[in-house]
Amino acid sequence: MSIELRFHHTGGRVYRYKQTEDAAVRQLLRLLAPSKVFAEAEIALSGGGIVTLLPTAHITRLDVVTSVPFSWPKPPNITAMFVLPDKSALRARAIRADGPKQAGEALVVHLAYDLAGGDRLYAEVATKAGHSLETRSRLTRLLRHPPVYFNLPGGGGTILNPANIVRIMVTANIERTPAGAWPVNLQTPL
């Protein structure tokens, strides 16, 4: 049993920490509640006689890589949330998407998160389409209210620090755009 923690820094560095002792791995999995990870000003890590303090203001995301089965609770009405390996996977999945969905039909939402320091994360969320207002409400709740977390391919998950999300691009076949959205087309590459 093992767990690797990868703290992605706003400066582009990734700090990696590993634990292989079964009892400590189980303890870490209990401590890693997405709603609490970035709630304090710093994260304290201790092992091998070394204590490290990581200011959460400079962490864009935390990857929890493990083969130990665990899951975080999904938001209401969400059936799946996972990270895509890269933008080609995002484009391939987005191209296969059908037209606008009716209430009750499966709805797949593709997300591209730009994080402070230039890091980018691609994700997919599955839900059921609701009426226009209900679908927009679900998306807004998912995008604007922490914690933001997804399953990783191969096991584990990633938690995004909402304070370091610079932009969120959403591709979903919904009937109408959100009220107040500016009517412009994307010119920079995905």
> Between residues 33 and 17, which one has the greater pLDDT?
17
CATH of the domain at 43: 2.30.30
Rounded mean pLDDT of the chain? 81
Residue 160: the pLDDT is: 92
**Judgement on whether residues 120 and 94 belong to the same structural domain of the protein:** yes
**Judgement on whether residues 57 and 85 belong to the same structural domain of the protein:** no
Rounded Cα distance between 77 and 103, Å, is 13
- Domain end, chosen from 43, 66, 89, is at 66
Residue 181: the pLDDT is: 77
**Judgement on whether residues 165 and 83 belong to the same structural domain of the protein:** yes
**Judgement on whether residues 90 and 154 belong to the same structural domain of the protein:** yes
Q: Residue 178: pLDDT above 80?
A: no
Conformational region of residue 4, where left means phi above 0, alpha means psi within -120 to 50, and beta covers everything else: beta
Give the pairing type, strands 42-47 and 106-115: unpaired
Domain hosting 142: range is 78-171
Instruction: Look at the chain and report how many structural domains it folds into.
Output: 2
Tokens of 91: 């484009």
* Average pLDDT, integer, range 91-107: 61
Rounded Cα distance between 10 and 12, Å, is 5
**Judgement on whether residues 62 and 142 belong to the same structural domain of the protein:** no
| Confidence grade of residue 33 (pLDDT, cut at 50, 70, 90) | confident
pTM summary value: 0.83
